[in-house]
Amino acid sequence: MDRAIITTGRKNQRSSIELAKAMAVKLNILFVERQNLSISALAQLHNVKYVLIAKKNSLRLVVGDNEVFFHPSLAHLRIKNSLKGEGDRLIETMALKHGMKVLDCTLGLGADAIVESFAVGEEGSVIALEVNPYLAAVVEHGLQNFTDDNDNVVQAMRRIKVINTDYIEFLESAADNSFDVVYFDPMFRHPLERSTALNPLRDIADHRAVTLETIAEARRVARYLVVLKENSKSLEFKRLGFEKICGGKYSPIHYGVIEV
Ligand SMILES: C[S@@+](CC[C@H](N)C(=O)[O-])C[C@H]1O[C@@H](n2cnc3c(N)ncnc32)[C@H](O)[C@@H]1O
């Protein structure tokens, strides 16, 4: 893994220093005093790719010109629409109901995981995996601490269990039929230029393609469905054996579904 440090915002509040020091221990990285330096100067000084910033009880991750932080905005809107009775394509495709167990193999910024968590309710569970330890830390901290005026969103966020691991390792050690649905939303082989929500992730995310071995493991671990999100024109569905495809005719995104 590329190296990282953690620092605070320029204001250096005591709570930010405490958060930065605690995360430094958790992630086994160096805590560095901000000293009024720019983030790029700090990155150069310590020869690191990643700089985490603790600021006002939240974490930010900076890589070059990109800055990533947690915000539930998209999930908030989807949950609000779902409560109004408008369907959510992911909830429908995954056939999520209260009490179900979901394995979300690709946490990213967490929007899909929050919607899944809302759909399965407090009797259900969502475990979300992220291979990048710094992104996993930023999103996990956000899920546990971010406040939102919609209590459904807050409760859904708090219930998600984040694990920093490679999904293949997790799947290999998971028992047969131990989740109802296993979900993958990998970085698309051909990214959609319009997907501004995911643009900051491009330099941070793991871009490896999903393998046939991974899908075989997912089929073993899933009780009902394995679901893959991809660009609607993607050849990945065929390559990986997803025969059923869901998604609007004009939607740039489709979901492949394997019924196990
Ligand atoms: C497109 S993003 C997921 C977006 C997410 N569904 C959301 O709503 O924000 C894909 C994420 O999966 C992660 N990822 C890719 N390969 C992985 C692997 N083998 N194990 C775990 N996470 C992986 C990437 O680092 C990236 O953060």
Percent of the chain topping pLDDT 90:
90
- Is any ligand 1 atom within 6 A of the Cβ of residue 187? yes
Cα of 211 vs centre of ligand 1, distance in Å, is 14
All residues at 6 or more sequence positions from 114 whose CB lies less than 8 Å from its CB, including other chains: 72, 75, 79, 143, 153, 156, 157, 160
Structural domains in the chain, CATH included, are 4-69 (3.40.50.10480), 73-259 (3.40.50.150)
Is the pLDDT assigned to residue 135 strictly greater than 70? Answer: yes
Task: Check pocket membership of 186 for ligand 1, CB cut-off 6 A.
Answer: yes
Confidence check: pLDDT of 198 > 80: no
pTM, two decimal places: 0.97
Q: In angstroms, what is the span from residue 195 Cα to ligand 1's centroid?
A: 15
The CB of 167 under 6 Å from ligand 1? The reply is: yes
207 CA from centroid of ligand 1 (Å): 8
Residue for token pair 């830390």: 137
> Which band of pLDDT confidence, cut at 50, 70 and 90, is reported for residue 194?
low
Instruction: Quote the ligand 1 centre to 40 CA distance (angstroms).
Output: 25
